[in-house]
């Protein structure tokens, strides 16, 4: 063979190897659907373990681990053990995206539970959808989550269901007529909850929104907003944000002599709200999908198991929803007889009247959950206690 022919063949071979190598790199860069191998099914925890919203992330992870331990002690799911893969996104959207990518490309998770907040869930959802990995948020209540695609779910009580029920209770049972709204406009959860309230209130003639103020997460001074609200003499203040700003708003309200209580979603439900607000937050209300009072048999069993594991401490909303998230995934895998996300996502979407510890859960046609009952809690003598259980129609 001539030198020229040998050189030509060598060049062709080098180009082929180079092309193959480039193809491999391109394939590695594109996230793929998880392929469970061996005797383990990996479920990623997406949430904050440090920072302000760790108050939501830590208990979610506790509940997930408790569920995984119970499933594994009973033999696992379809002969496989559940492994919870955890990471701290610090409540940061960019870090939430990075953690989601890591779960998919490096840890090869089958499903992700989280984030407990709406904002980070909306960042993570398109990544999970593209990769074909089920993402089930155990806390996001705002709009624009499941619309991302058919791999995206949640198990929390939706604002769109909770708020109309609360407004009806306010009007009929508490006699409230005038409402002041305060929105944290750099917080997706707060913006969505406030709009849900406006839309629902428009359908109740006896309820009138008399003030509509804006704040930001991280603000410390709310004197101007409270001055404006006080002049309108509201019966209740809807604050759609989180507990830190909520507590400071109520301290300013009491300082100015405004006696109206505060109402909010699960963003207010934290011991920190009471710790920061003290006497100023007495009477404040939070709408949740979970309460340890008037518990169902399934919830009572969960409460006792949690207390035994945590030195008598009672579980909270996010403990329960994290637990239910894992159990919903396991239930759907069993009904589908598969741990492949492409298969069990269909079973998850068909869930009807699942008896969770945070309530009875059904998935609607759009994969949005309906949960019953609604628990309206309020602060009494420095503790959150049950004010009312409001049934939600499941059909």
Query: Mean per-residue pLDDT for 372-390?
Result: 92
Q: How far apart are CA 362 and CA 358, in angstroms?
A: 12
Q: What's CA 101's distance to the chain center, in Å?
A: 19
CA–CA distance, 35 with 133 (Å, rounded to integer): 10
pLDDT tens per residue across span 115-147: 999 999 999 999 999 999 999 999 998 889 999
* Tokens 């009138």, located at residue: 208
Q: Are 389 and 375 in contact (CB under 8 A)?
A: yes
- Cα(113)–Cα(104) distance, rounded to whole angstroms? 13
Q: Which long-range contacts (CB under 8 A, 24 or more apart) does 306-313 make?
A: 306/66, 309/66, 310/62
**In this structure, which long-range contacts are made by residues 330-337, counting pairs with CB atoms below 8 Å and at least 24 apart in sequence?**
330/67, 330/71, 330/77, 330/82, 333/41, 333/77, 333/78, 334/77, 334/78, 337/78
The gap between the terminal CA atoms of the chain, to the nearest Å, is 80
pLDDT at 383 over 70: yes
Domains 40-156+295-363 and 160-288+377-390 equal at CATH topology level: yes
pLDDT for res 15 = 41
Q: How far apart are CA 228 and CA 233, in angstroms?
A: 10
What is the pLDDT, as a whole number, of residue 33? 47
Tokens of 90: 């610090």
For residues 142 and 199, give the distance between their C-alpha atoms in angstroms, rounded to a whole number. Answer: 14
Whole-angstrom distance, CA of residue 266 vs CA of residue 283 = 15
What is d(CA 308, CA 294) in angstroms, rounded to the nearest whole number?
20
CA angle 291, 296, 300 (to 5 degrees): 75
Q: How much is the average pLDDT of 260-285?
A: 95
At residue 115, the pLDDT reads 96
Looking at the chain, the whole-number percentage of residues with pLDDT higher than 70 is: 90
pLDDT over threshold 50, residue 19: no
Q: Regarding beta strands 374-380 and 383-390, do their DSSP bridges make them parallel or antiparallel, or are they unpaired?
A: antiparallel
Q: Distance of CA 384 to CAs 74, 94, 271, 288, 293, Å? A: 34, 33, 8, 11, 11
Q: Place 173 in a pLDDT band, splitting at 50, 70 and 90.
A: very high
- Phi, psi angles (nearest 5°) of residue 249: -60, -45
The correct answer on CATH 3.40.50.2300 for the domain covering 160-288+377-390 is yes
DSSP assignment string, 79-95: TBEEEEEEEE-TT-HHH
| 340-365: average pLDDT | 96
CB 109 within 8 A of CB 136: no
Instruction: Give the closest residue to 127 by CA, choosing from 96, 161, 89.
Output: 96
| Three-state SS at 46 | strand
pLDDT above 50: residue 377 = yes
Mean pLDDT over residues 89-117, rounded?
A: 97
Q: What are the residue ranges spanned by the domains of the chain?
A: 40-156+295-363, 160-288+377-390
Structure confidence by residue, pLDDT tens digits, 41-80: 999 999 999 998 898 999 999 999 999 999 999 999 999 9
Please tell me the distance from the alpha carbon of residue 2 to that of residue 321, in angstroms, as a whole number. 73
Q: What is the DSSP letter of 53?
A: T
Taking residues 170-197, report their average pLDDT: 95
Tell me which of 3.40.50.2300, 3.30.1360.120, 1.10.287.70, 3.30.420.40 is the CATH number of domain 40-156+295-363. 3.40.50.2300
Cis bond upstream, residue 373 (ω within 30): yes
154: Cβ–Cβ under 8 A, 6 or more apart, which residues? 121, 136, 137, 138, 139, 140, 141, 145, 146, 368, 369
Work out the pLDDT band at 391, boundaries 50, 70, 90: confident
Query: Cis peptide leading into 88, omega within 30 of 0?
Result: no
| CA-CA-CA-CA dihedral for 291, 296, 297, 300, to nearest 10 | 10
Q: Where are the alpha helices (DSSP H) in 30-146?
A: 54-73, 93-105, 118-131
What percent of the chain is modeled with pLDDT above 90? 79
Instruction: State how far Cα 81 lies from the chain centre.
Output: 25
């Amino acid at each position: 063979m001539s030198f020229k022919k040998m050189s030509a063949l060598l060049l062709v071979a080098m180009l082929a190897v180079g092309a193959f190598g480039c193809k491999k790199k391109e394939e590695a860069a594109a996230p793929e659907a998880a392929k469970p191998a061996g005797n383990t099914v990996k479920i990623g925890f997406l949430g904050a373990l440090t920072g302000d919203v760790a108050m939501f992330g830590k208990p979610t992870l506790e509940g997930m681990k408790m569920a995984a331990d119970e499933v594994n002690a009973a033999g696992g799911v379809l002969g496989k053990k559940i492994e919870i893969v955890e990471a701290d996104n610090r409540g940061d959207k960019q870090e939430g995206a990075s953690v989601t990518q890591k779960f998919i490309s490096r840890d090869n998770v089958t499903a992700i539970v989280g984030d407990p907040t709406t904002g980070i869930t909306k960042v993570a959802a398109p990544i999970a959808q593209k990769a074909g990995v089920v993402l089930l948020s155990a806390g996001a209540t705002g709009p624009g989550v499941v619309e991302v695609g058919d791999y995206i779910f949640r198990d929390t009580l939706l604002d769109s269901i909770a708020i109309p029920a609360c407004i009806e209770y306010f009007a009929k049972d508490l006699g409230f007529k005038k409402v002041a709204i305060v929105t944290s406009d750099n917080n997706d959860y707060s913006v969505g909850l406030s709009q849900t309230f406006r839309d629902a209130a428009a359908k109740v003639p006896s309820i009138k929104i008399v003030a509509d103020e804006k704040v930001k997460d991280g603000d410390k001074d709310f004197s101007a907003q409270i001055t404006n609200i006080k002049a309108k003499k509201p019966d209740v203040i809807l604050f759609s944000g989180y507990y830190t700003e909520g507590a400071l708003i109520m301290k300013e309200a009491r300082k100015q002599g405004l006696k109206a209580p505060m109402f909010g979603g699960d963003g207010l439900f934290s011991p920190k709200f009471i710790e920061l607000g003290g006497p100023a937050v007495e009477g404040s209300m939070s709408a949740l999908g979970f309460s340890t009072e008037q518990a169902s048999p399934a919830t009572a069993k969960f409460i006792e198991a949690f207390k035994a594991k945590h030195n008598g401490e009672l579980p909270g909303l996010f403990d329960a929803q994290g637990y239910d998230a894992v159990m919903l995934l396991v239930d759907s895998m069993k009904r589908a007889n598969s741990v492949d996300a492409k298969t069990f996502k269909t079973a998850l979407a068909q869930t009807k009247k699942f008896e969770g510890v945070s309530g009875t859960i059904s998935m609607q046609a759009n994969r949005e959950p309906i949960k019953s009952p609604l628990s309206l809690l309020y602060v009494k003598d420095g503790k959150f206690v049950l004010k009312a259980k409001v049934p939600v129609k499941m059909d």
